[in-house]
Amino acid sequence: MEQPVAVWILIVLALATASLPFLIRRPLLMLPWLQKGEDRRPAWLRLLESIVFFAILVGLHFAILGWVGGALVGADAASMGLFLVKIAVLAVAVVLLLSYPGWRDINKRIHKSFVVRLLEVLVLYALVGTLGLAFEINIGNAFPKDWEFYVISLCLYLVLAYPGFVYCYLLRHRHRG
């Protein structure tokens, strides 16, 4: 994959995912605490569900690094097609994993707090950052990154999330019915 293509994929993906927690009312994460509007379930079950959910997220992190970062993309169409199929499979896995908590309580109106939305933004930042690292490994050798890189990239990601924050919290919406 060419470097400009990878950069534009990451920019578009960051734009699409940064505001997502503020625009979607359903939860994207399985959290161990009860959110307003959710059904009551035993605490041990909620904790077990969130441990399994986050373990699958970590496994998805390593799958992205292994499949995308370890794939050598040549100039022929077959290797590029296989690479795109791998990315599509991982994208479907991410969408299915992050949509499960919202479908669990589909008929309930769940109120996500600001802290929950911020956690969702951080998880999506980690997924987009993992894909960026995988692209960097795929294109060439990955450069070492210090804490400054992560702070600056997180701040840029939060700037991309600002339109969703404005829409969710600063614009006055009249809720009907």
How does 55-83 read in b/e, with b if 16+ C-beta sit within 10 Å?
A: eebeebbebbeebbbebebeeeeeeeeeb
Distance between CA 127 and CA 6 in Å, rounded? 15
Q: Are 111 and 43 in contact (CB under 8 A)?
A: no
Put simply, whether the predicted model's pTM sits higher than 0.85 gets the answer no
CA 140 → CA 47, 64, 74, 83, 137, distances in Å?
Answer: 40, 16, 13, 16, 5
Radius of gyration of the chain (CA): 18
**For each of the chain's 177 residues, which pLDDT tens digit applies?**
678 888 888 999 999 899 999 988 888 888 888 788 777 888 888 888 889 888 888 888 888 888 777 665 555 566 667 777 777 787 888 887 777 776 666 677 778 889 999 999 999 999 999 988 888 888 877 788 999 999 999 999 999 999 999 988 888 666 554
What residue ranges do the domains of the chain occupy?
A: 3-170
